[in-house]
Chain A
Amino acid sequence: MGLALAPVAGVIRLVLRRVAAAAVLFLIVLTLTFAAVAGAPGDPLSPNDPRIPTEHAERLRALYGLDQPLPAQYLRWLGAVLLSWDWGQSYQTGRPVSDLLFESLPPTLLLAGGALFTQYLLGIGLGLIAARRPNSWLDLGVRAASLLVYALPTFWVGLMAVLIVGVGLGLAPIGGMTSAAAYELGPLAALLDVLAHLWLPALVLGLCMAGDIARYTRSSLIEFQTTDAGRAAKARGLPWTRIVFVHGLAHAAPRLLQMAAVSAPLLLSGAIVAEAVFVWPGLGSTTLQAIQAGDVPVVLAATAYGAALVIAASLAADLLLVRLDPRLQAE
């Protein structure tokens, strides 16, 4: 009984260790972000009109806690965040930052999810095509194409997609997540409307990141065919499609999952760019506008949200890896 529980206890210990490390990392990110923003030049609440009475500026400073010494500001901010998830009020709009981010996080997750789906669909598909006949013209073409899309900046690909697919051909809407007055649509029509707005930015973002997946899938599948398992499958007379789809992809899966976690920061930064090009009302657009407006509480919270997403993705990938690879459980 005790022996049977040992691996479970080990996994729990591993999970707790990873979660604790993630929490410490998150705290460090919060602190560094606060320090960086606090150390930036300029007073975000200094009135840009000298006619504004000084007592009004002082009132705003008191409202946002900027009349306190910096350590007190930090402790108050950190306490509010950790105890009640209160990120303060936006300097620009006066609205609670939590509300702003609560509104902009789902669109970003939707876009990132769509992009991730596209990235893996295209990447694995192209990897399979390339691995079918290594060093053929098709293989060379796929490898060259994957290098090309990897090298192209997301904003450029996005702009070209907007100009050609949206403005030129009229095949996709190019702004926002919904059509005008979409609240008038029924549930199904509203869903289709969102999908119609999603496919192009998700394709652009996914395409720009599919190269890595394609190259890894290709090399992994080719390598699998040289392993004992691959040779045994071939010797049993299994068709190539079964070998690669069932056994080859299972062989590549742990690393592919790890790549998903590694690409989470890239996906988020790419989403910021894609959101700007496609006027997607997500975390990236909110962050960009906050940076331009010097809206410190929003910048702080958006950075922390971004960090939290990356840390969470990383943690999830680690745990999945443990789940998929029994050797790690033993370790």
Chain B
Amino acid sequence: MRRLAVAGLTAVVGWGCGSDAPRDTTRLTVGLRFDYPTPNELIGPPTLAYAAINDQMFPSLMEEQGDFREGPPVWAPGLAEGWEFSEDRLQLTVRLRSDASWSDGEPVTAEDVRFTWLAQTDTEVAWSSSYVHEATVDVEVLDPHTVRFHFDAALPTALADVSTGAILPRHAWEARPFAEWRGDPDWFFDALVTSGPFRLVSRTPGSELVLGRNPDHFETDLPRLERVILRNTPDSTALTNRLLAGELDVATGIGATDASRIDGQPGLHLIAYSNRQFTFVVWNTTRPWFADAATRRALALAIDRQAIVDTIWHGYARVGRSPVISGVWAHDPDLEPWPHDPEAARTTLRDAGWIDVDGDGIIERGGRPFRFELATNTGAVARWDAMQMIQADLRTVGIDAQPRRVEPNALNQRLPEQDFDAAAVAIAIDTNLDFRPLFHSEEVGGYNFAAYANPEADRLIESFATRTDPLGGREDLHRLQRILRDDQPMLVLWEPVSLAAFNDDLESVAPNAVSPLANLKEWAWR
């Protein structure tokens, strides 16, 4: 009994004593801000953290590579070992690996690919990314390991479209009618078979997910880790604390304010990697304050974006220059950002007819004071902080911006309906660089929150979107960026970087814009 009491006391009080024990190199503990409610991606949450986990168990046909600096996305074989387009690009024939199998021993076949497409496009399943198959009219099974996609338009995004979403196990999941999928996400744990480098070993809802090495994976020398334990830690500060306390080996989704606590810590290193996001202020051009480009340019001149980035991001972001972000091959490196020049802003505003007639410190035009609401969603801490600085900057040129937090769903509804004056929002761009949703005049009511319309911009966007050789359209996108810089339907504030912290003894870690766990199967302890 006394021995038991001593053991209990050691466990309760002497928690830190275990830190000197030799490392268990068979397992890795990763802190993620995640939730993993179901292994069925089609009814799971559309978040990067969820996809990062699901990809470890369910590979797609092709794998998007994470570097977009040199050119358009490159696709590496996943479950597909090869593919080819027909001459008119209306058909894509994909050959599957013959050595890929599900965890119950059944082979991965072309029937699985067709079943996946049927599920992805079924309205009862209501997959949030079903629009990627708008141009797919059929998926034809040619033989057990060959499948052909038929399209009604030759889109440059075809490879991205067919690789969006994991391939699902028909033999295990077809027993459940599509109409019942959303009603019972737990059922897919009971009927779980996987084909990726890792298998599901254990799950504690909301807390922990344990993945184990798939010994039958077709890449026979991968993965190199036996076990990966994913620990749910939704809050960035708590995540950092757990890392510093030694409870985690890896932490992804670190906040910029917490980064300084990790930087320089012995045994840990921080990796800042690019992502596809940028944050901007969109000006509603249907509002009288923002109807003319000259006024919008003056706003860009008045706001000190470098000060915002320095203050809020502590060096883990850069001032944005263009919606084609700097980590992407089509970014125009010669594009000069608007400088912070309040005097030039005042002159531009005066020339545009904005003058403080009544002497109250706020400029007016046509009797209307330059006073507007600047909205962002609740929970967006960095944006809210930035909005206070924007308010102060604009006040120096006689503009009264009134920051306001709006419930996220309400803001989501108001933006496409142009029911706002100006809003600070963030977005992640598609790597296919199709800017129709953001800036095409026909997309008002969609992502074109600014209600921006410029015929030349429309022409360039259409020209690029229909090219089958995206690289050849680089000049079109450079020209588009210059137009957007001059028209300023949105002011790009910053491009953040993502932060992840790793134990120094881990090797081959390479998080990228696609996923922080992009090459998890290659990670290993030294």
Instruction: Show the binding face of A for B, using Cβ within 8 Å.
Output: 40-44, 46-53, 55-57, 59-60, 63, 89-90, 92-95, 99-100, 103-104, 159, 162-163, 166-167, 169-178, 180-181, 183, 188-189, 192-193, 195-196, 199, 276-279, 281, 285-286, 289, 292, 294
List 21 A-B pairs, Cβ < 8 Å.
A41-B407, A52-B130, A56-B127, A59-B124, A93-B38, A162-B241, A166-B241, A166-B245, A167-B241, A171-B15, A178-B208, A181-B27, A181-B208, A181-B227, A183-B202, A195-B8, A196-B12, A276-B238, A281-B207, A281-B232, A289-B35
Give the complex CA separation of A173 and B29 in angstroms: 14
Q: Is the interface of B mostly helix, strand, loop or mixed?
A: mixed
Is B7 among interface residues, defined by CB-CB distance under 8 A?
yes
Query: Are B15 and A59 in contact (CB-based, < 8 A)?
Result: no
Minimal beta-carbon separation of A45 from chain B (angstroms) = 8
Minimal beta-carbon separation of A279 from chain B (angstroms) = 5
Contacts of A199 in B (CB 8 A): 12
Q: List 10 other contacts, CB 8 Å, given A51-B447, A181-B210, A286-B206.
A: A47-B412, A49-B128, A50-B443, A59-B126, A89-B183, A170-B246, A175-B231, A180-B247, A279-B232, A294-B408
Query: Are B206 and A103 in contact (CB-based, < 8 A)?
Result: yes
Query: Are B229 and A181 in contact (CB-based, < 8 A)?
Result: yes
Given A40-B407, A170-B246, are A180 and B7 neighbors across the interface (CB < 8 Å)? no
Give the number of chain B interface residues (Cβ < 8 Å).
66
Contacts of A292 in B (CB 8 A): 379
The 4 A-B pairs of least Cβ separation, nearest first, read A170-B16, A42-B409, A42-B410, A93-B37
Query: Are B412 and A48 in contact (CB-based, < 8 A)?
Result: yes
Is B442 among interface residues, defined by CB-CB distance under 8 A?
no
Taken residue by residue from 220 to 242, chain B's Cβ proximity to chain A (1 for < 8 Å, 0 otherwise) reads as 00000001010111110110011
Give the complex CA separation of A47 and B206 in angstroms: 24
Task: Across the interface, name the chain B residue whose C-beta is closest to A278.
Answer: B238
Query: Are B38 and A180 in contact (CB-based, < 8 A)?
Result: no
Query: Are B206 and A94 in contact (CB-based, < 8 A)?
Result: no
- A95 contact from B186, B246, B408, B447, Cβ within 8 A: B186
Instruction: Show the binding face of B for A, using Cβ within 8 Å.
Output: 4, 7-8, 11-16, 19, 27, 29, 35, 37-38, 43, 45-46, 123-124, 126-128, 130-131, 182-183, 185-186, 202, 204-208, 210, 227, 229, 231-235, 237-238, 241-242, 244-247, 379, 406-413, 416, 437, 443, 445-447
Query: Are B12 and A195 in contact (CB-based, < 8 A)?
Result: yes
Task: Across the interface, name the chain A residue whose C-beta is closest to B124.
Answer: A59
Query: Are A63 and B183 in contact (CB-based, < 8 A)?
Result: yes
Contacts of B233 in A (CB 8 A): 175, 279
Minimal beta-carbon separation of B477 from chain A (angstroms) = 20
- B234 contact from A89, A178, A181, A285, Cβ within 8 A: A285
Minimal beta-carbon separation of B27 from chain A (angstroms) = 7
Give the complex CA separation of A174 and B31 in angstroms: 13
Query: Are B409 and A285 in contact (CB-based, < 8 A)?
Result: no
Give the complex CA separation of A208 and B45 in angstroms: 37
Minimal beta-carbon separation of A72 from chain B (angstroms) = 20
Given A175-B231, A286-B206, are A50 and B416 neighbors across the interface (CB < 8 Å)? yes
- The residue in B38, B46, B245 that gathers the most chain A C-beta atoms within 10 A of its C-beta is B245
Task: Across the interface, name the chain A residue whose C-beta is closest to B203.
Answer: A183
Task: Across the interface, name the chain A residue whose C-beta is closest to B235.
Answer: A276
Query: Are A50 and B447 in contact (CB-based, < 8 A)?
Result: yes
Give the complex CA separation of A104 and B14 in angstroms: 28
Query: Are B208 and A56 in contact (CB-based, < 8 A)?
Result: no
Query: Are A93 and B185 in contact (CB-based, < 8 A)?
Result: yes
Query: Are B128 and A56 in contact (CB-based, < 8 A)?
Result: yes
Query: Are B241 and A93 in contact (CB-based, < 8 A)?
Result: no
Minimal beta-carbon separation of A127 from chain B (angstroms) = 26
Contacts of A93 in B (CB 8 A): 35, 37-38, 45, 185
Contacts of B183 in A (CB 8 A): 63, 89, 94
Query: Are A42 and B408 in contact (CB-based, < 8 A)?
Result: yes
Give the complex CA separation of A89 and B185 in angstroms: 10
Query: Are A175 and B242 in contact (CB-based, < 8 A)?
Result: yes
Task: Across the interface, name the chain A residue whose C-beta is closest to B29.
Answer: A180
Give the complex CA separation of A211 and B409 in angstroms: 41
Contacts of B245 in A (CB 8 A): 166-167, 170, 173-175
Contacts of B413 in A (CB 8 A): 42-43, 46
Give the complex CA separation of A36 and B293 in angstroms: 42
Query: Are B128 and A52 in contact (CB-based, < 8 A)?
Result: yes
Minimal beta-carbon separation of A22 from chain B (angstroms) = 30
Give the complex CA separation of A284 and B264 in angstroms: 34
Query: Are B130 and A63 in contact (CB-based, < 8 A)?
Result: no
Query: Are B131 and A51 in contact (CB-based, < 8 A)?
Result: yes
Query: Are A176 and B231 in contact (CB-based, < 8 A)?
Result: yes
Give the complex CA separation of A171 and B246 in angstroms: 12
Task: Across the interface, name the chain A residue whose C-beta is closest to B227.
Answer: A181
Query: Are A163 and B241 in contact (CB-based, < 8 A)?
Result: yes
Query: Are B11 and A195 in contact (CB-based, < 8 A)?
Result: yes
Contacts of B186 in A (CB 8 A): 95, 99
Contacts of B443 in A (CB 8 A): 50
Task: Across the interface, name the chain B residue whose C-beta is closest to A64.
Answer: B182
Give the complex CA separation of A99 and B189 in angstroms: 15
Give the complex CA separation of A27 and B88 in angstroms: 65
Query: Are A176 and B207 in contact (CB-based, < 8 A)?
Result: yes
Minimal beta-carbon separation of A39 from chain B (angstroms) = 12
Give the complex CA separation of A43 and B206 in angstroms: 25
Give the complex CA separation of A52 and B125 in angstroms: 13
Minimal beta-carbon separation of A313 from chain B (angstroms) = 25
Minimal beta-carbon separation of B424 from chain A (angstroms) = 16
Contacts of A180 in B (CB 8 A): 27, 29, 208, 229, 231, 247
Minimal beta-carbon separation of A319 from chain B (angstroms) = 34
Contacts of A281 in B (CB 8 A): 204, 206-207, 232
Task: Across the interface, name the chain A residue whose C-beta is closest to B247.
Answer: A175
Contacts of B409 in A (CB 8 A): 41-44, 46, 294
- The residue in B124, B207, B408 that gathers the most chain A C-beta atoms within 10 A of its C-beta is B207
Give the complex CA separation of A188 and B409 in angstroms: 46
Query: Are A173 and B247 in contact (CB-based, < 8 A)?
Result: yes
Give the complex CA separation of A100 and B19 in angstroms: 34
Contacts of A279 in B (CB 8 A): 232-235, 238, 242
Contacts of B11 in A (CB 8 A): 189, 192-193, 195-196
Given A50-B447, A294-B408, are A172 and B130 neighbors across the interface (CB < 8 Å)? no
Query: Are A94 and B207 in contact (CB-based, < 8 A)?
Result: no
Give the complex CA separation of A281 and B235 in angstroms: 13
Query: Are A92 and B123 in contact (CB-based, < 8 A)?
Result: no
Contacts of B128 in A (CB 8 A): 47, 49, 52, 56
Minimal beta-carbon separation of A320 from chain B (angstroms) = 31
Contacts of A63 in B (CB 8 A): 182-183
Give the complex CA separation of A103 and B19 in angstroms: 31
Task: Across the interface, name the chain B residue whose C-beta is closest to A44.
Answer: B409
Give the complex CA separation of A95 and B128 in angstroms: 17
Minimal beta-carbon separation of B391 from chain A (angstroms) = 23
Give the complex CA separation of A68 and B379 in angstroms: 30
- A94 contact from B12, B13, B185, Cβ within 8 A: B185
Query: Are A277 and B238 in contact (CB-based, < 8 A)?
Result: yes
Query: Are B234 and A289 in contact (CB-based, < 8 A)?
Result: yes
Task: Across the interface, name the chain B residue whose C-beta is closest to A163.
Answer: B241
